[in-house]
Amino acid sequence: MSDNPVRDAITEAITSHDIILFMKGTPEQPMCGFSARTAAALEALGTEYAAVDVLPDPRIRAELSSISNWPTIPQLFVRGELVGGCDIVTEMYESGELADALGVHAPAEAPAHAPAAAEPGAPPLTIDNNLVDR
């Protein structure tokens, strides 16, 4: 471990989850429209993913942006690589590239345009927030 436990925890989270979304708030209670939209795209594809709320500790956002060279939240990583933020994820959802990148087939009921927020009754998700000091 380095002397930067927050950075180590982020790196560990990215490498140990195939699909991980860093967002403001949680999928159930997003605190920003861009985060809501990005989580909703993942939910519309019915994929499981880990989600990390960056809001509890400002160091999470600072270290994440330093690691990813990406200034804004949300950030979606697939198999350790930054896929993008809300704009890119939305574009990829609508072109079908997102399902390909995630290795899933879009459900027949998935809307053609990325939903602005998850529908009620969306499946429960694994919330994995181990980035806050214990």
Partner 1 sequence: MPSTDDLKQRIEAAIPGARAEVSDLTGGGDHFRASVIAPDFANLSRIEQHRRVYAVFGAEIGGPIHALSLETRAE
Binding footprint of partner 1 on the chain (CB under 8 A): 34, 69-72, 82-88, 91
Min dist CB 71 to partner 1, Å, is 4
- Least distance (Å) between residue 87 CB and partner 1: 5
**Do 20 and 13 touch, CB atoms closer than 8 A?**
yes
Contact 19, 48 (CB under 8 A): yes
Min dist. Cβ of residue 88 to partner 1 (A): 5
Nearer Cβ to partner 1 (9/54):
54
Give the type of residue at 124. P
CA distance 130 to 117: 25
Residue closer to partner 1, measured from CB, 47 or 75? 75
Q: Pick the closer one to partner 1 by CB: 32 or 122.
A: 32
Residue 110 phi/psi, 5° resolution? -65, 130
